[in-house]
């Protein structure tokens, strides 16, 4: 993300109004892009389910499971991503590249254990049938 920030800064430093427009437009799509992709995926899945004649109640359960998986995975990973991306950017800047892979593997392991444990607790308390809980958990963990 640091490299993207530098490029955006170059765009915004120009005196031309066109540069500022493209800088702010790029920043908007970079920050909201993943959310827009998730919303688009949910709309496509809803359309496919409605064409397949899935009942409205089952569609609601599937959409809720997907939405919870998206939201919880973003909440769980955001702190880890911010810390590790800053650490990796610093290591690249100081040319200490051998420290990146162990740090990344450790961060991913901690995030999987922490997020997986909270997901198990959440789905154990859920009133869904076991098979739906299992698949919802698998979607969340992927």
Per-residue pLDDT tens for 74-121? 888 888 888 888 888 888 888 888 988 999 899 999 999 999 999 999
* pLDDT tier at 39, thresholds 50, 70, 90: confident
Instruction: Please state, in angstroms and rounded to a whole number, the distance separating the CA atoms of residues 89 and 1.
Output: 8
The angle, 0 to 180 degrees and rounded to 10, between the axes of the packed helices 130-141 and 56-93 is 30
pTM over 0.85: no
Distances (CA, A) of 41 to 5, 21, 47, 63, 110: 27, 28, 10, 10, 28
């Amino acid at each position: 993300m640091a490299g993207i920030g530098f490029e955006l800064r170059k765009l915004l430093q120009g005196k031309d109004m066109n540069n500022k427009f493209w800088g702010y437009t790029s920043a908007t799509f970079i920050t909201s892009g993943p959310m827009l992709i998730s919303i688009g995926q949910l709309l496509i899945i809803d359309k496919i389910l409605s064409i397949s004649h899935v009942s409205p109640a089952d569609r609601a359960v599937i959409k809720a499971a997907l939405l919870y998986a998206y939201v919880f995975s973003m909440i769980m990973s955001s702190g880890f991503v911010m810390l590790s991306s800053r650490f990796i950017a610093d290591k690249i800047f100081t040319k200490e590249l051998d420290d990146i892979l162990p740090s990344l593997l450790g961060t991913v392991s901690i995030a999987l254990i922490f997020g997986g444990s909270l997901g198990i607790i959440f789905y154990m308390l859920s009133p869904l049938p076991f098979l739906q809980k299992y698949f919802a958990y698998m979607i969340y963990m992927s």
